Amino acid sequence: MKILLDYKWCFIWAIIVIILCTLPGNNFDAVPAYPGMDKLVHCGMFFVFCTLLYNGVIQQFSGKPTRWLPIFIVSILGFLFAGLTELLQLYIFTYRSGDWWDLFADSIGIGMAGFAYLLNYVNRRS
C-alpha cells in the first residue's frame, strides 16, 4: 500500500492527462494558441508525468535510488503511457487524432524529466 501512496501524484496526473487527451479539440477553442503550442503541451504533460514518477521512486527508496535503473523504467513507462494516449485518440476517441509528432513531443518531455532526475541525482550524491 505504501508503494501506491509513493506514486499517488503520478496516478492523479495520469488521470488528468487521459481526461485532457480525450476531450474534443473544440473544447479548447477559447484558449489562445500559436503554432506548435500543441506539441509544447504534450511535452509538458509528459515531463510532469515522468517527474512525478521519479518523485515516487525517490520516496520509495528513501531518497537513495540507483542512477540508471529508474531512468530506464520510467522512460519505458512514460513511452508506453504516451503510446496509450495516442492510440486512445486514434481508435477510441475518433474526434481526436493520434499523431506521431505528438508521440515525439511526449518523448521529448520524457527525456527532459530523465535529464532533470539525473541532474538531481548527481547533485544529491555529491
Q: Would you say 46 and 104 are in contact if contact means Cβ atoms under 8 Å apart?
A: no
Dist. CA 65–CA 52, nearest whole Å = 15
Q: Would you say 75 and 112 are in contact if contact means Cβ atoms under 8 Å apart?
A: no
53 burial via Cβ count (<10 Å: 0-12, 13-18, 19+): buried
pLDDT (tens digit, 9 = 90+) per residue, 14-61?
Answer: 999 998 888 776 666 666 777 777 889 889 999 999 999 999 988 888
Domain ranges within the chain, ordered by starting residue: 1-125
pLDDT (tens digit, 9 = 90+) per residue, 76-107?
Answer: 999 999 999 988 888 887 777 778 988 999 99
Look up residue 50 and give its amino acid.
Answer: C
Between helices 68-87 and 37-60, what is the axis angle to 10°? 140
Radius of gyration of the chain (CA): 16
pLDDT tops 70 at residue 115: yes
